[in-house]
Amino acid sequence: MSIRILVTDGMDASAMETLRNDGFEIVEKFYEPAELGTALRDFDCVIIRSATKIKEPQIDEAKGSRLKLIIRAGVGVDNIAVSYAQANGITVKNTPNSSSNAVAELAIAHLFSCARYISLAGHTMREHLWEKKAYSKGFELEGKTMGVIGYGRIGRLVGKKAQGLGMNVLSVVHRNKPEGCECETMHFVSMDELLAQSDIITVCAPGAAEGPIISAEAIAKMKDGVVIINVSRGSNVDEAALLDALNSGKVKAAGIDVWMSEKEPNWTLAEHPAVSCTPHVGAGTKEAQKKIGKELISVVKEFFA
């Protein structure tokens, strides 16, 4: 019997072709949550991205079947009930090494957009408006301090790129301190120090179980006119608190790629003139998808060897 793999949210075409040529049966189909659990019973492996959620109800329907492996084509696995799946004999894997640079570059792109009004100025020009005076009040990044919350693979790349732009970088270490990071332009500090000293705060941390990292209380500790960039998880930022801070001027601008809800994003926040926004496209580069495809092949072949 061949190994059957369900791909629900798309996958690099060449990677799928490689798996097919190696004897794996690939089925591409998206299932609604109510139908997904039953469908999973007919597959040995499912590969998902961010659109598909595999939580306790889906696992309850799939457990005891041929399903043995769930792979998240990306970094975060908060759309999967990982512990529950593993307790029911289903292994969960991800591809943590492939999309980090793409996400880090998007964070910097949003920062440039916030600093120089690129998104808004471009929009007004498409409406045949010449607003040079309004958008000639930007700021330069050189010499600014960026606080990076979450100094893992993505956070370290964001920090390195920020340093390359002449910025100073701060981060917080909660567990193991990464080696070789600290230098004249990069230091680990407490969270309160990071919030108080940073001109820009970029969130790269996994989803926080205890609530948003960027809360109203956290924003109150920040500099006036701070810029906030979120390329991590929508749940890491209290969207209502951020909107209030943008309206009051406490937060000068925000760059947002991730949202509390992807089915119904906070349109009021997205429409705010001080917000640079994208619809969760952090890993959305040709290079990243190729790398994710190769990593998926390795995970599948190693597991079913």
Q: Does the active-site annotation cover 233?
A: yes
Phi-psi region of 153 (alpha: psi -120 to 50; beta: other; left: phi over 0): alpha
In the sheet that 145-149 helps form, which strands lie side by side, from edge to edge?
Answer: 186-188, 168-171, 145-149, 200-203, 226-230, 251-256, 275-277
Taking only the tens place, the pLDDT of each residue in 102-114 is 999 999 999 999 9
Work out the number of other CB atoms within 10 angstroms of the CB of residue 179. 6
Section 239-261 average pLDDT: 97
pLDDT recorded at residue 61: 97
Catalytic residue among 61, 233, 239, 295: 233
pLDDT recorded at residue 66: 96
pLDDT recorded at residue 100: 94
Section 236-263 average pLDDT: 97
- Helix, coil or strand: residue 145: strand
Catalytic residue among 17, 140, 262, 287: 262
Mean per-residue pLDDT over the chain, rounded: 95
Confidence of residue 179 (pLDDT cuts 50, 70, 90): confident
Taking only the tens place, the pLDDT of each residue in 180-194 is 899 999 999 999 999
Biggest CA pair distance of the chain: 68
Taking only the tens place, the pLDDT of each residue in 2-51 is 999 999 999 999 999 999 999 999 999 999 999 999 999 999 999 999 88
